[in-house]
A and B are shown apart, each in its own frame.
Chain A
Amino acid sequence: MLLVVEQFLNGLQFGLLLFLLAAGLTLVFGIMDFVNLAHGSLYMMGAYFAATFVAWTGNFVLGALLALGATLLLGIVLEFVALRHLYGRDHLDHVLATFGLILFFNDAVRLIWGPAGLALPLPAWLTVPIAIMPGVYYPAYRLAIIVVALVVALLLYLVVMRTRIGMLIRAGASNREMIGALGINIKLLYTLVFGLGAALAGLAGLMQAPILTVQIGMGENILILAFVIIVIGGIGSIRGAFLAAIFVGMIDTLGRAFLPDLLRQVLSSTAASTAAPALSSMLIYLLMAIVLVVRPEGLFPASRR
């Protein structure tokens, strides 16, 4: 029972982190029609910045905020210098160009911080286990991640649904040419959206950093998951990304936790221990395959283009 609750919360936490990553990706794609593979690199930079700033300042929260700002700045600079020339091009061009950026970022990180990963230690007040239910303890930091991610998700929802900027974002996701025709400063909007996406990626990276090590290439694996989430949720749709992310996070975590035991009931022990890891990593992709068969445009597509 304890294990189920803990894994459930882990799944929720993982799903929310995936949402932060996927939200940025789906925003950038929905509005600028830009496929950004370097999004994973921004995630990685957020983690590296956090490890560095926390070590400099000695204060976890301050270091995290600085890292967030740094990633936001990096995203804006990247958009301004390199990526804005690629708007309107074929998606293949986006893929190849951002692929080159991934190579660049990986080596740049290796040059600056070295090939070994960094560690981001947690302050004492975040390592205490908190009793969420009588007798059920959960690490404070993971709870903090859930809370922060939910707050950010709520803020994102409020911004997108209740402010003028959000209205422009939603309009851009539905019909890009129209908002240009209506006289909105498209370039500024694009830069802001890209910066927002970068900040979200950086936040996901720095929050995940104390749990997993900070290392080169950490963004690539999770980027694939973000893509899967966008496909399942529907491109350009933040609501779709949220639901799909929670779903994927749960399935991945719960699958990895309980599938070996489930398989052991049915198969022999050796067969189960070989099949289980392979099968649990395949679960997400099986889910994506099912969604593709049933509803190729995603579960909650943003526009009816």
Chain B
Amino acid sequence: MTASLNARNVIVALVVAGLMLLPLYTSLSGNVFALTLFTRIVIYALAAASLNLIMGYGGMMSFGHAAYLGIGGYAVGILAHEGIGSGFIQWPVALLASALFALVIGALSLRTRGVYFIMITLAFAQMAYYVASGLARYGGDDGLTIYKRSDFGGLINLSNRVQFYYLCVGCLLGGIYLIWRIVNSRFGLVVQGLRSNERRMQAIGFSVNRYRLVCFVISGTICGLAGALLANNTDFVSPAAMYWTRSGDLMVMVVLGGMGSLFGPVLGTIVFLMLEEFLSQITEYWALIMGPLLLLIVLFGRGGIDGLLGRLRRG
């Protein structure tokens, strides 16, 4: 893969450099808020990247992806509540639970296509939301406070904001690297082929649902990791993390950044969350602006930010 000096690559490089150097800026300027904001942005970027794997590359429009944020978060929260504070136990459980959920939901949902698939994934995520709301022992609707972040022994202290931020950035870059490897592997090519022309792939002899299911499970697991990070970030987990509007937010981040591009989700998340932040500083009724803005983006923005940058290159 030859890296050329075009607009897109320059911007991506700048963004990654910016993310790496952010703690330097915040420690110099004392602006801690920027650090907490960007920790949240990086975590959501990881979730958006995982959604991009199945949406952009796989063509599976899942409207229930926020469920994995909740499952990963609740794995950490429930174990912490029951006295198991070690990250070495919590995080693998979070990943395993997300993978299991993705396996079951995927096996059922992938029997459908198109808009049915969108609605089914939405419904299953809402089911997870209602189940979590009904767990009175773990806070139910009010949510569950996590009094101590995941303990990793002497390895890393998650209560230290800077260390936690770098862990999140590391997970994001690691996740993107993993996605890059998957997408460029034979498996990834099959999944992309299935997005392009399912019937032809079937005729060639590929087992459609099996490849899609594996992709779905991988995506859910990565998002479960994001969920565990999120729970640690907010020291709190509640069913609201799984509410369908969160899934919608994730979809917007992916589409905004450009579906099927590697760093698109990162750019999309940054723009979306910063826009949200910026608009809520201006007015309490930020959704009045955000909503129609979204509509306009859908009507006129082809290919998201990544597509825009690509056109600049050719421009």
Which residues from chain A contact B127 at a C-beta distance below 8 Å? Answer: 281-282, 285
Q: Residue B134 at the A interface, CB < 8 A?
A: yes
Q: Are B111 and A296 in contact (CB under 8 A)?
A: yes
Which residues from chain A contact B292 at a C-beta distance below 8 Å? Answer: 100, 104
Q: Residue B123 at the A interface, CB < 8 A?
A: yes
Q: Residue B120 at the A interface, CB < 8 A?
A: yes
Check A274/B137 contact, CB under 8 A, given A99-B248, A231-B116.
Answer: yes
A107 to B130, CA, bound (A): 24
Which residues from chain B contact A85 at a C-beta distance below 8 Å? Answer: 299
Minimal beta-carbon separation of B121 from chain A (angstroms):
11
Q: Residue B63 at the A interface, CB < 8 A?
A: yes
A274 to B63, CA, bound (A): 28
The prevalent SS among residues of A at the interface is helix
The prevalent SS among residues of B at the interface is helix
A104 to B245, CA, bound (A): 13
Which of the four size classes fits the interface of chain B?
A: 35 or more
Q: Which of B68-76, B149-157, B183-191, B282-290 contacts A (4 or more CB under 8 A)?
A: B282-290
Which residues from chain A contact B295 at a C-beta distance below 8 Å? Answer: 82, 97, 100-101, 104
Q: Are B63 and A95 in contact (CB under 8 A)?
A: yes
| From B63, B119, B135, residue with most partner A Cβ within 10 Å | B119
Among B70-103, those with CB < 8 Å from A are none
How many residues of chain A get a CB closer than 8 Å to chain B's CBs? 41
A101 to B136, CA, bound (A): 33
Minimal beta-carbon separation of B47 from chain A (angstroms):
17
A95 to B297, CA, bound (A): 13
A305 to B64, CA, bound (A): 27
Q: Are A106 and B287 in contact (CB under 8 A)?
A: yes
Q: Which of A54-62, A86-94, A177-185 contacts B (4 or more CB under 8 A)?
A: A86-94
Q: Are B251 and A96 in contact (CB under 8 A)?
A: yes
Out of B119, B131, B294, which one reaches A103, CB within 8 Å? B294
Q: Residue B252 at the A interface, CB < 8 A?
A: yes
Q: Residue A108 at the B interface, CB < 8 A?
A: yes
Q: Which residue of A lies closest to B247 (CB)?
A: A99
Q: Are A288 and B123 in contact (CB under 8 A)?
A: yes
Check A107/B291 contact, CB under 8 A, given A92-B61, A99-B252, A281-B134.
Answer: yes
Q: Are B291 and A93 in contact (CB under 8 A)?
A: no
Q: Are A285 and B124 in contact (CB under 8 A)?
A: yes
Q: Are B115 and A29 in contact (CB under 8 A)?
A: yes
Q: Are B251 and A104 in contact (CB under 8 A)?
A: no
Q: Which residue of B lies closest to A108 (CB)?
A: B288
Q: Are B288 and A111 in contact (CB under 8 A)?
A: yes
Q: Which residue of B lies closest to A276 (CB)?
A: B134
Out of B112, B120, B130, B293, which one reaches A282, CB within 8 Å? B130
Hey, what's the 0/1 contact readout for B122-141 against A, CB within 8 Å counting as 1?
A: 11101100110111110000
Among B219-253, those with CB < 8 Å from A are 244-245, 248, 251-252
Q: Residue A116 at the B interface, CB < 8 A?
A: no
What are 11 inter-chain pairs, A to B, with CB distance below 8 A? A91-B114, A95-B251, A96-B298, A103-B245, A105-B291, A110-B285, A220-B245, A274-B135, A278-B130, A288-B123, A293-B111
Starting from the known contacts A91-B61, A281-B131, 7 additional A-B residue pairs (CB-CB under 8 Å) come to: A96-B297, A97-B294, A103-B291, A224-B244, A274-B135, A281-B130, A285-B123
